[in-house]
Structure 1
Amino acid sequence: MDQDKWLTIDELADYLKVGRTKLYRMAQEGVIPASKVGNQWRFDREEIDEWMKLQRPAATKGNKIGHS
């Protein structure tokens, strides 16, 4: 079994370079994919990676590279 599949809040904060307080708030508000086990949050690394990809800003029509 992959021991790095589930991240703690501290591990995720280090992984994403984001503060713990912000991650707690995001988890509680359902902004970031998370599971709560007892009173502790856990984060699936694969879900976090997919979620991060979805956070990329969409290109606007006027900012496309290679088009005049």
Structure 2
Amino acid sequence: MSDRWVSVEEIAEHLGVSKDTIYGWISKREMPAHKVGRLWKFKTGEVDDWVRNGKASDDYREAETSGPASQREKHAERGKADG
């Protein structure tokens, strides 16, 4: 079976998530997606690999944002709240 191009609706169904989740993953988690005109298209194999690598996981996002720069940002935000 060939790895055909699928739509947002189809990839959302494939993964069992909403279309809004797919759009969020495209913008915030670098989900493998390709713009064809106005439409987003996906190769299920690319998306499956992305998921297997843990990039759809909330844990992946937290690990990515817990580095030293992120700690400085959190500290700066706390300072703003204090005052």
Structure number with the higher helix fraction is 2
Between Structure 1 and Structure 2, how many residues are aligned?
56
Gaps of 5+ in 1: 58-68
List structure 1 segments (4+ residues) > 6 angstroms apart after TM superposition. Answer: none
RMSD: 2.1
Calculate the TM-score normalised by the size of structure 2: 0.57
**Aligned residue number for residue 12 of structure 2:** 13
- Determine what percentage of the aligned residue pairs are the same residue: 32
In 2, are the aligned partners of 1:5 and 1:46 still within 8 Å (CA)? no
- Match of 1:18, SS state, is coil
Amino acid at match of 1:32: M
Measured against aligned partners, the alpha-carbon deviations of 1:9-64 in whole angstroms (never above 9, x if no partner) come to 0000100001101111222345210000011000111101111110177xxxxxxx
Higher-Rg structure is 2
Gaps of 5+ in 2: 60-83
